[in-house]
Amino acid sequence: MLFDGRHHKTGLKVIAIIAIIAFAGFGLVAGFLAVGGGCGAADPLAQAVSDAQARVQQGATAVSTAQAALKKAPKNNQAKKDLTQARNDLGQARISLAQALLAANPQDPQALTTALAAAKNAPGDLDVVLGLVTVSTSQNNPGAALPALQAYTARNPKDAQAYAYWGQVAEQAGERNQAVLAYQRFLELAPDDTLAPDIRNRLDALASSATTTG
């Protein structure tokens, strides 16, 4: 499987989408149990959702405050930075809520809606975008994450890791052309990366598939 645990040259571990899902599902459950267990909570998953909703509300309030401050001083660079940070924080809060919803109910449509909103709040945060990938893939809708991956790579055109993720998600979504372009871009940016052989194998497989179906 592509992304089978090898290490990215930046020191970040590039893991399979299925591993991300396992982390989101089982890791969050374990974490919520650890947090709720000591408090005697009857339903730690529900409590985790409630806590995440509170953080989202706080984040939305912070964004509104930052927007008002920028409106009063539209040329103030610090106000602009504060608004960007507030939006990023809101995105992170929303992706936490999406993952909490997913852990509580893997088929909850609100999990995907919340994750999509998170990616719009923080389009330049790869962790948030991959959180969306987690939710959309686990709900058998990987294509829902493709616009966010495209937006992220547009902002970060030299992030080879992101192109590798984009390629895999596009392939899972049945978007062959997108997958090919993303994988090719990865190889342009990181031809000697430890993932490069796997990426080349995927490109060969996609080419063979196109020839067979053609």
Pull the structure tokens for residue 85.
Answer: 């940070």
DSSP one-letter code for 6:
E
Confidence (pLDDT) at 208: 87
Pull the structure tokens for residue 69.
Answer: 């401050």
Q: Where are the beta strands (DSSP E) in the chain?
A: 4-7, 13-15
* CA–CA distances in Å: residue 80 to residues 7, 65, 84, 87, 151: 36, 12, 6, 11, 20
Confidence (pLDDT) at 21: 38
Strands 13-15 and 4-7: antiparallel
Per-residue pLDDT of the chain (214 residues; tens, 9 = 90+): 454 433 333 333 343 443 443 344 434 444 444 444 444 545 999 999 999 999 999 999 999 999 999 999 999 999 999 999 999 999 999 999 999 999 999 999 999 999 999 999 999 999 999 999 999 999 999 999 999 999 999 999 999 999 999 999 999 999 999 999 999 999 999 999 999 999 999 999 999 887 666 5
What backbone torsions phi and psi does residue 15 show, to the nearest 5 degrees? -115, 160
CATH number of 4-213: 1.25.40.10
Predicted TM-score of the model (pTM): 0.80
Q: Which of 29, 86, 32 is nearest to 55 (CA)?
A: 86
> Residue 115 burial by CB count (10 A; 0-12/13-18/19+): exposed, middle or buried?
buried
The answer to whether the beta carbons of residues 122 and 128 sit under 8 Å apart is yes
Return the sign of the alpha-carbon dihedral for residues 207, 209, 210, 211.
positive
Which amino acid is residue 204, in one-letter code?
D
∠ CA 61-67-69 to the nearest 5 degrees? 105
